[in-house]
Structure 1
Amino acid sequence: MARITRTPATAAAEVRHVQARLSVDTSGEGFTEITNEASAFLAEIGASMGVLTLLCRHTSASLTIQENADPDVRTDLITALRSLAPRDFGWVHDTEGPDDMPAHVRTLLSDTSLSIPVSGGRMTLGTWQGIYLIEHRARPHRREVVLAFTGATGHIT
């Protein structure tokens, strides 16, 4: 039988909401890690405890939390996405080119937003986890990600 435990609940006296926009220039299809930029945002605002929400403002790019230790994982994930939503599938929507509809499907398979708990001023990501913007289009694009923190800033007692 599994054993389940939890820490005691911690409450913040005052809650704030702070946000910023992150501009990401991609080089075409692939993963761009944005973990450091998200961490810098939290440090800049003095975040201590709350939730960081990230929103990719596009329908042909997405966000994910994935392993950041071995780049082969990202290579294999791109291969899997290409297999699940190939460009030559016979899509009806091709107004912006043959890679547009597969990009929409790949976004549907991943996501456009993430919510990450923040504790002690840091995201509670696992040891090998990083935050990535996934560009699903073949050519470079400028993508925008909204960073929004809701929670306590400063020292929590």
Structure 2
Amino acid sequence: MRQATDRLEVRTQRQGLVEISDAVADWVARQGMTDGLLTLFCRHTSASLLIQENAAPAVRGDIERYFARIAPESRDYVHDDEGPDDMPAHLRTALTAVSLSIPVLGGRMALGTWQGIYLFEHRVRPHRREIVLHLIGE
């Protein structure tokens, strides 16, 4: 049994979904493990991780609009230290996930045909986000 860890920096330009599947797949391939379990962990409280369809761009837009409706930007929140997108970003993170577990089979992530891994940026302005990668396997 072996382990590998690393950090992936993702630069976001705006609120929304940023696909990171290729960067993660490249890292997994470089580890040389055939079978195992990959864990991804987002080290932020205003960004999250999703596995979602990566074929139709309309899916990303619909997801982004849905979260804008259920956790809208507003000056009505008590916590608004960094502006009107501050508390909604925390709510959106609470409704999604900051970690994912993905099986690795045959040296590749066992994602479905249309599945991609996304960092979901919940803040309006650009950020540098850090994702911790941990692979355990053989």
User: Is the TM value for this pair above 0.5?
Assistant: yes
Q: Determine if the alignment matches structure 1 residue 100 to structure 2 residue 86.
A: yes
Residue 90 (1) aligns with residue 76 (2) = yes
Match of 1:32 among 18, 29, 49: 18
Q: How many Å apart are 1:88 and its aligned residue?
A: 1.8
Any unmatched runs of 5+ in structure 2? none
Q: Aligned residue pairs: how many?
A: 138
SS in 1 for 2:125: coil
Q: Which residue of 1 aligns with 2:5?
A: 19
1:61 to 47, 53, 74: 47
Aligned ranges 1:45-60 → 2 under 5 Å: 45-60=31-46
Q: Which of the residues 117, 120, 127 maps onto 1:141?
A: 127
Deviations 1:57-105 (CA, angstroms, capped at 9, x unpaired): 0000000000000010000000000011001271110011110100000
| CA distance in structure 2 between the aligned counterparts of 1:37 and 1:147, rounded to whole angstroms | 11
In structure 2, which of residues 103, 108, 112 is the aligned counterpart of residue 122 of structure 1?
Answer: 108
**Relative to structure 2, which stretch is displaced further, 82-91 or 38-47?**
82-91
- Paired with 2:72 and 2:105, the residues of 1 have a C-alpha distance of 40
TM-score w.r.t. structure 1 length? 0.86
Counterpart of 1:69, as a letter, is: A
Letter in 2 for 1:146: V
Amino acid at match of 2:128: R
Q: Which has the larger radius of gyration?
A: 1
After superposition, the CA RMSD in angstroms is 0.8
What is the distance in 2 between the residues matched to 1:141 and 1:87? 18
- Runs of 5+ in structure 1 lacking a partner? 1-14, 153-157
SS in 1 for 2:126: coil
